[in-house]
């Protein structure tokens, strides 16, 4: 028996990146999936490649009417909704707070936070009536610590974590679980979206970016599939006693600074001090490192 046999899922942002990886894994594990995205051609091509188990619905998650329609269409076609994966999103440039356009902040929070809220708002009555369901939200390591992304992105993703916890408390007694995933060091097309590259050039750019994402305990970039595996687990009955959690998938990025990196930093620091204060350091039998 497959892990999602008989289940129906909606995956927003499902036409590319982590969303696409999740769509493919959910279908492979027996689910019927509605792919919700603004990337119409990619979404339709993906649904077509997966046969009758997947359909595409063009959706702007920031528009309440689009979310209402998405929920209704899914119910009309499949009769139930067992998982909503709120994954749609995009990034922006990192700027000082004084230089951050208000319009950019509004756009970011509208899609990442308000879009997640709208999905939860309109699927909650369905799942509550069913007395079952799993809601999975995409947050980020930027939502739990500063410095990993832009101010608007970080603020919105922190809001997703708080929203996840609050709704988990509300819906738990109805048998509905709500969790979020906090990816970090994951190589996806979000890094080059908006840059006019051919498919070959995009792949080359992503390979270059991947080489720069190894500053974590595992020393490498993560993949969309590795995040999608966590989403699959949260959507399945294997995580039946897990709710209200923010699961970090970052290769150990947020664990802390590797001792070797710290040692290298200390070496540079004391080399500078020794150069500045040579007489003092010359008196030391065992100079600090």
Q: Which residues are catalytic?
A: 153
DSSP characters for the chain? --TTTT-EEEEETTTSHHHHHHHHHHHHTT-EEEEEES-HHHHHHHHHHTGGGEEEEE--TT-HHHHHHHHHHHHHHHS---EEEE----------GGGS-HHHHHHHHIIIIIHHHHHHHHHHHHHHHHT-EEEEEE--GGGTSTTSS-HHHHHHHHHHHHHHHHHHHHHGGGTEEEEEEEE-SB--GGGTTTS---HHHHHHHHHHHHHT---STT-S-B-HHHHHHHHHHHHSGGGTT--S-EEEESTTTTT---HHHHHHHHHHHHHHHHHHSHHHHHT-SS---
């Amino acid at each position: 028996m497959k892990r999602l046999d008989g289940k129906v899922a909606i995956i927003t942002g499902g036409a590319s990146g982590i969303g696409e990886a999740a769509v493919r894994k959910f279908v492979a594990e027996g689910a019927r999936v509605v792919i919700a995205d603004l990337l119409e051609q990619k979404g339709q091509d993906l649904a077509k490649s997966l046969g009758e188990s997947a359909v595409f619905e063009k959706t702007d998650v920031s528009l309440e009417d689009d979310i209402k329609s998405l929920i209704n269409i899914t119910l009309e076609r499949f009769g139930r909704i067992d998982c909503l994966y709120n994954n749609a999103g995009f990034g922006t440039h990192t700027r000082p707070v004084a230089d951050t356009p208000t319009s950019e902040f509004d756009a970011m929070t509208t899609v990442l936070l308000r879009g997640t809220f709208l999905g939860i708002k309109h699927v909650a009555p369905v799942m509550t009536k069913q007395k079952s369901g799993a809601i999975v939200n995409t947050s980020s390591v930027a939502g739990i610590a500063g410095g990993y992304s832009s101010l608007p992105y970080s603020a919105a993703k922190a809001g997703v974590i708080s929203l996840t916890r609050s709704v988990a408390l509300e819906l738990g007694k109805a048998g509905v679980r709500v969790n979020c995933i906090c990816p970090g060091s994951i190589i996806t097309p979000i890094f080059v979206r908006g840059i006019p590259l051919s498919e070959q050039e995009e792949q080359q750019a992503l390979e270059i970016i991947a080489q720069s994402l190894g500053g974590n305990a595992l020393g490498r970039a993560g993949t969309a599939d590795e995040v999608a595996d966590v989403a699959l687990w949260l959507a399945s009955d294997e995580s039946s006693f897990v709710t209200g959690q923010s699961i970090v998938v970052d290769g150990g990025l947020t664990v802390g600074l590797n001792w070797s990196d710290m040692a290298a930093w200390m070496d540079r620091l004391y080399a500078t001090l020794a150069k500045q204060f040579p007489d003092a350091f010359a008196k030391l039998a065992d100079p600090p490192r």
